[in-house]
Amino acid sequence: MGTLRINGAARTVDADGDVPLLWVLRDELGLTGTKYGCGIAQCGACTVHVDGRAARSCVTPAAGLGDREIVTIEGVSGNVAQAVQGAWRRLDVAQCGYCQSGQIMSAIALLSEKPRPADADIDAAMAGNVCRCATYVRIRAAIHEAARTLGG
């Protein structure tokens, strides 16, 4: 048993052994917006924020997180998150939608660090997030649009 700080609240979880954060979020806490896609940090569907930075929860042992701040798609907030989610919606980025929580979390982390990313910055920050529907054209456009919204 241990305590994790998730979406601003302390949650007691049964996170012993090597269980990755992803499965604590999904199976134990019912935070199913964070997705399983590969289990080996190759697809990014499981992306969450740990202390504000994008992290692949499928390979992040829950036991090692201590009091670090974990934010999932369900708890993400603030003007960057609003700008990103709004742009995603207006451009209708999502097709099947399964990877989009991870895409959005990576995009928010990028824009929080680089308010006006160039295409190369987007490539670098988003190349770890796979979309098999290949919504990449709109992901790129939505990140630029969110940056404009934020006045970056």
Question: Could you list the residues that contact other proteins (CB under 8 A)?
Answer: 17, 19-20, 23, 26-28, 30-40, 42-43, 45, 72-74, 85, 88-101, 104, 122-123, 126-127, 129-140
> What is the closest distance, in whole angstroms, from the C-beta atom of residue 127 to other proteins in the complex?
5
Give the other-Cβ count within 10 Å of 146's Cβ: 29
Considering the complex, state which of residue 69 and residue 74 has its C-beta at the smaller distance from other proteins.
74
Considering the complex, state which of residue 18 and residue 67 has its C-beta at the smaller distance from other proteins.
18
Q: Give DSSP secondary structure letters for the chain.
A: -EEEEETTEEEEE---TT-BHHHIIIIIT--TTS--S-SSSSS-TTEEEETTEEEEGGGSBGGG-TT-EEE-TTT--SHHHHHHHHHHHHTT--SS-TTHHHHHHHHHHHHHH-SS--HHHHHHHHTT---TT--HHHHHHHHHHHHHHTT-
> What is the closest distance, in whole angstroms, from the C-beta atom of residue 69 to other proteins in the complex?
18
> What is the closest distance, in whole angstroms, from the C-beta atom of residue 98 to other proteins in the complex?
3
Considering the complex, state which of residue 51 and residue 92 has its C-beta at the smaller distance from other proteins.
92
> What is the closest distance, in whole angstroms, from the C-beta atom of residue 67 to other proteins in the complex?
23
Considering the complex, state which of residue 4 and residue 20 has its C-beta at the smaller distance from other proteins.
20
